């Protein structure tokens, strides 16, 4: 006689087979995404690391990290092969007292990316400062002050829709508003479409800020604002109502209750929104291409305020130009991967700084 079957064992069925197939399908999709990410980042770090780091002292290619982009000249002279940047090539001709040398030139394939690094940091920090101020202020109003009615519901829906608007649309918006139509007070009448006299020989000219860092700041900030508002509002909702009620019961005003008993505990969530905002704006090319970025900028800024109304160089735009706007060769490939490597490390550094600050705030305010 056969032993009776164990009633507690799983019995095969169609439903369990479908569940097992679905489980492995979801698991395979997850592993596929991770594999693609590992391959992409691995290629960038391996090839980009070969540009940034060296096998011999000082082990870091400081020229690439500290100088401006230059044209590369490749030539042979008296049996020797040379690969010189623009400055070194001119110096070489002066030393050798040679006027004409047959050399192949490759744009943006020598020098470094230091102005691009500085411009990227300026654009990210400035745009996130504006986005956090506007976004957190809007989140406080929507969650703490507004009547939760149909109008607020429509506003929240509009904010969610803005988060999905393509970056090229924000770029055209910034071009039309900030570059061409922002008001400027000057001592003369501009040729803009609209100029309003203010008296005392001054005019309000709607001629825009032009292509400058300030235009890029506001354009990128408006891209990050929907993400900041949504994440900040969720963090404000997570703070218990008892914190507000206890403060109000002690005689505090509504703003005092928000400032002392709500915002400190919502700050970790606000910093999370800043991380999401950095991921949203740091790698954008289209908005800064229309509003802030230059391919090359040789002039130095005369001051902090004047630099706000001047264009900047940025890593995303530099990578785009080197990858798509000039002939491709082994020299431009080296610059592409090196710039991409530095750009990823830079964005990761800014995001990690926000994460560490968020952890510190969480440890400080526990509830």
Q: What is the pLDDT of residues 53-103, one digit of tens each?
A: 987 888 888 989 999 899 899 988 888 888 888 888 888 888 888 888 888
Render pLDDT for 272-319 as a digit per residue (tens, 0 to 9): 878 878 877 888 888 999 999 888 776 666 666 777 888 899 999 999
Q: Which residues contact 337 (CB under 8 A, 6 or more apart)?
A: 43, 44, 47, 48, 50, 51
**pLDDT value of position 217:** 93
Cα–chain center distance at 156:
24
pLDDT value at 1 more than 60: no
Mean pLDDT confidence for 49-54: 89
Mean pLDDT confidence for 336-356: 88
Q: Which residues contact 103 (CB under 8 A, 6 or more apart)?
A: 73, 74, 75, 89
Render pLDDT for 109-141 as a digit per residue (tens, 0 to 9): 888 899 999 999 899 899 999 999 999 999 999
- The DSSP code for 53 is B
Q: For the beta carbon of residue 277, count every other beta carbon within 10 angstroms.
A: 26
Task: Compute the mean pLDDT over every residue in the chain, rounded to the nearest whole number.
Answer: 86
Is the distance from CB of 188 to CB of 124 less than 8 angstroms?
no
Model confidence, pTM: 0.84
Q: Which long-range contacts (CB under 8 A, 24 or more apart) does 132-137 make?
A: 132/228, 132/270, 132/273, 132/274, 132/277, 134/221, 134/225, 134/228, 135/224, 135/225, 135/227, 135/228, 135/229, 135/232, 135/273, 135/277, 136/228, 136/232, 136/270
pLDDT value at 30 more than 90: yes
pLDDT value at 10 more than 80: no
What DSSP line would sit under 79-118, residue for residue?
TEEEEEEHHHHHHHHHHHT-S----EEEEEEEE--HHHHH
Q: Which residues contact 147 (CB under 8 A, 6 or more apart)?
A: none
Render pLDDT for 181-226 as a digit per residue (tens, 0 to 9): 887 777 767 766 677 777 777 777 777 888 899 999 999 999 999 9
Q: What is the CATH number of domain 114-364?
A: 1.10.3720.10
**Domain residue spans of the chain:** 11-60, 70-111, 114-364
The order of strands in the sheet holding 80-85 is 80-85, 69-77, 104-111
């Amino acid at each position: 006689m056969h032993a009776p079957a164990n009633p507690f064992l799983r019995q095969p069925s169609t439903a369990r087979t479908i569940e097992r197939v679905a489980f492995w399908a979801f698991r395979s999709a997850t592993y596929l995404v991770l594999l693609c990410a590992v391959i992409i980042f691995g290629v960038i770090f391996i090839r980009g690391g070969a540009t940034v780091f060296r096998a011999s002292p000082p082990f870091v290619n400081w020229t690439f990290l500290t100088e401006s982009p230059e044209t590369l000249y490749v030539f042979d002279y008296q049996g020797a092969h040379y690969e010189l940047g623009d400055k070194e090539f001119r110096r070489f001709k002066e030393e050798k007292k040679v006027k004409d040398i047959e050399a192949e030139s490759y744009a943006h394939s020598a020098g470094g990316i230091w102005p691009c690094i500085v411009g990227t940091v300026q654009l990210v920090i400035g745009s996130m400062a504006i986005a956090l101020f506007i976004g957190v202020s809007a989140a406080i109003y929507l969650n703490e002050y507004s009547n939760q009615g149909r109008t607020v519901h429509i506003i929240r829906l509009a904010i969610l829709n803005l988060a999905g608007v393509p970056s090229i649309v924000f770029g055209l918006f910034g071009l039309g508003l900030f570059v061409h139509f922002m008001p400027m007070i000057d001592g003369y009448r501009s040729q803009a479409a609209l100029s309003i006299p203010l008296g005392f020989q001054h005019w309000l000219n709607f001629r825009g800020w032009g292509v400058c860092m300030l235009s890029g700041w506001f354009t990128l900030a408006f891209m990050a604002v929907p993400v900041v508002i949504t994440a900040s509002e969720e963090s404000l909702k997570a703070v218990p109502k008892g914190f507000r009620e206890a403060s109000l019961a002690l005689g505090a005003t509504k703003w005092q209750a928000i400032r002392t008993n709500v915002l400190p505990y919502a700050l970790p969530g606000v910093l999370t929104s800043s991380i999401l905002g950095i991921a949203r704006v740091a790698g954008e090319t289209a908005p800064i291409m229309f509003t802030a970025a230059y391919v090359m900028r040789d002039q130095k800024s005369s001051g902090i305020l004047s630099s706000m109304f001047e264009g900047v160089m940025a890593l995303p735009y530099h990578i785009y130009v080197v990858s798509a706007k000039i002939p491709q060769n082994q020299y431009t490939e080296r610059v592409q991967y090196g710039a991409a490597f530095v750009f990823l490390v830079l964005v990761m550094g800014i995001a990690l700084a926000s994460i560490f600050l968020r952890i510190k705030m969480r440890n400080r305010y526990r509830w």
